Structure 1
């Protein structure tokens, strides 16, 4: 099968959609399929304007423009992509959509307009955007596109946008070998907490700092330390806020590191903390859980679908509950080691072998 993966964002940008689409491309290729990627993200050396770059054996059509901040937007891409899809014999188009995906929306119009079997996967919680997308979704599904989302939570938002249309659930995939488990540490002072996130408003890193500040006050000096991995537009502001909360000796800003290095840091940590709410899936939390870490997260986020409360982590109804859970694991070594032991012994179900099967099922559904 010849597959076109179309996404606003792709490597070398870092983020959930970027890593998932690139991993999916590699996994589909390993399964014997021919895969090409179309993206509005420039290449590592500035490739853009339709240049085709081969990344990990996968041809990547770089449709980026010269824009401030390298925004992955290109309203002039549709005719170029349309011609390439027509001329290169693709069997299916798989469009990946986030909260705001102007390139992806254009690609959905192009693929369905060509009459190609088209699968649309939402990597976001639509929330207030559901009504805005309703006319477009009606058009695309009327032309044969099939819809899926990365979690039941995300699928619910798509259902709200277009009631009565089937929405599949295709979770993000993970390779357990890339996140080897570490030894379970039985002492809990300090409790070594870790998070990996983009430093942006919707990720609620400010709320995370308040949670850690409250836990620090309750556990006392030397009770907790937090390593934050990632970067983003709010980095400077968040560091200032951390200092204002008196967390200079508690919070360490690690920046973005390669996946293998992040996995090594997880082996030295005790707990993963996620404060996000509008998180469709929570791949970073799943990676940490795969590495053996107990995960503390909001129950009203997509993380609740990959973490079982009291078994692989602790889920909270609100931010105060996140603080309570953090203090609980800091004070109760028996509970923390029991959860960590479960995670080290029990790999997650969202392996790439399973996810690729689900994705191919969506392609068959689109073809039908």
Structure 2
């Protein structure tokens, strides 16, 4: 018989975060490892800092992973066996979500959490079925919406055809949607999920690790450095940055993300982007450095004159916050969450997506004006401290949990 756990002290919540493909233990920069991994890990830690006990449930993607791994004080990662114990692209994980949900139900039946918070639509699907079975309160964060992806990618969208219907089911079936930006609330309303079922809590940034002070990565021989950081997938807009670079003499572009450096030559997206750089005549000024570990990110950001975030669409976008926290100006496409985070002209510039000319003009203006770069960097740091520090985000998330818990019917004995 499974022992009954000791009750938690008053005010301390047992929180289950469900992140089926995005483990907080993953190395960042891979095709399916990016902002969601950072968000889940940081949220778990910030909730633990507020005294709560957090378990992150994520899919086992290697046979030798232990069942449970301490992430830090108050947080453990639970590897759920669902599907083969090997990496599987997230768009092929849907067939395993029923098993994932059954596993969650078994675990939660023995040790029920006070609140469940699922991340990404498949996590929501698995969590919804388990939470319904056990009567547990459920909040959900999408991180990205299938309607937006389909609108921008069309036939290139590899999402399962059931995705949008499942997202609507989760939005209507959970107790609260925790949206990350205003644009997402509007998109959900168009999908039929009422705005009064949502609360906006943005993603956050570690303002103690991402700071303007500290070491900077070594620079190349060029006068200026631009940086693009994140998953190496077409929608992130690296090709737009490369095309813009052709109009920016004396400038290098560092592209961080993708596989480890020693595997870059075999990566299809790297090969495509190198071709774009050759065709644009800037191959000698574009450096691909591969996926980077967390400790290397702040020095890399500090080494840049301007950080580029030119995604075709961006559900939220953590890189602009990290750049702003490091006191660096950001030039971002005016889409999704970047409309909330980047202020133009305060912390950087917003430009139309898929427009290398507009990107180049905005960057050129900043490169030509050191005082404007410094002002944007200082304003960005202030904005992050005032709005996006993880302590603030955790407090807002806890408030959403408590609001849902306050509306739950009282247990009867």
- Using the size of structure 1 for normalisation, the TM-score is 0.87
Question: C-alpha deviations, 1:295-326, integer Å up to 9, x for none?
Answer: 00112232121111011101113423212101
Indicate whether 1:52 and 2:83 are aligned: no
- Residue 78 of structure 2 corresponds to 61
Q: Using a 3 Å threshold, how does the CA distance of structure 1 residues 46 and 229 change in structure 2: closer, same or farther?
A: farther
Q: Using a 3 Å threshold, how does the CA distance of structure 1 residues 134 and 161 change in structure 2: closer, same or farther?
A: farther
**1:92 Cα deviation (Å)?**
0.6
* Inter-partner Cα distance in structure 2 for 1:202 and 1:312: 23
In the alignment, is the contact (CA less than 8 A) between 1:230 and 1:254 conserved in 2?
A: yes
**1:113 Cα deviation (Å)?**
3.5
Structure 1: 5+ residue stretches without partners = none
User: Which deviates more, 348-357 or 259-268?
Assistant: 259-268
- Residue 5 of structure 2 corresponds to none
1:70 is paired with a residue whose SS is coil
Residue of 105, 112, 125 corresponding to 1:82 = 105
- Residue 173 of structure 1 corresponds to 204
Residue of 13, 17, 23 corresponding to 1:5 = 17
User: Which deviates more, 343-352 or 144-153?
Assistant: 343-352
Residue of 339, 348, 354 corresponding to 2:376 = 339
* Inter-partner Cα distance in structure 2 for 1:95 and 1:163: 17
- Residue 105 of structure 1 corresponds to 125
In the alignment, is the contact (CA less than 8 A) between 1:112 and 1:144 conserved in 2?
A: no
Residue of 377, 393, 408 corresponding to 1:355 = 393
* Inter-partner Cα distance in structure 2 for 1:230 and 1:244: 22
* Inter-partner Cα distance in structure 2 for 1:70 and 1:46: 16
In the alignment, is the contact (CA less than 8 A) between 2:171 and 2:193 conserved in 1?
A: no
* Inter-partner Cα distance in structure 2 for 1:106 and 1:346: 36
User: Which deviates more, 115-124 or 128-137?
Assistant: 128-137
- Using the size of structure 2 for normalisation, the TM-score is 0.78
2:208 is paired with a residue whose SS is helix
**1:178 Cα deviation (Å)?**
0.7
**1:125 Cα deviation (Å)?**
4.2
Structure 2: 5+ residue stretches without partners = 1-12, 29-33, 152-160, 217-221, 260-266, 408-413
In the alignment, is the contact (CA less than 8 A) between 1:133 and 1:161 conserved in 2?
A: no
Question: C-alpha deviations, 1:235-263, integer Å up to 9, x for none?
Answer: 23222322332222211111122222221
In the alignment, is the contact (CA less than 8 A) between 1:126 and 1:154 conserved in 2?
A: no
Equivalent residues, number: 353
* Inter-partner Cα distance in structure 2 for 1:68 and 1:209: 34
In the alignment, is the contact (CA less than 8 A) between 2:172 and 2:193 conserved in 1?
A: no
Indicate whether 1:286 and 2:321 are aligned: yes
* Inter-partner Cα distance in structure 2 for 1:302 and 1:139: 23
In the alignment, is the contact (CA less than 8 A) between 2:175 and 2:404 conserved in 1?
A: yes
Residue of 366, 371, 380 corresponding to 1:329 = 366
2:101 is paired with a residue whose SS is helix
- Residue 231 of structure 1 corresponds to 258
**1:151 Cα deviation (Å)?**
1.0
- Residue 28 of structure 1 corresponds to 47
User: Which deviates more, 157-166 or 292-301?
Assistant: 157-166
Q: Using a 3 Å threshold, how does the CA distance of structure 1 residues 134 and 362 change in structure 2: closer, same or farther?
A: farther
- Residue 191 of structure 1 corresponds to 224
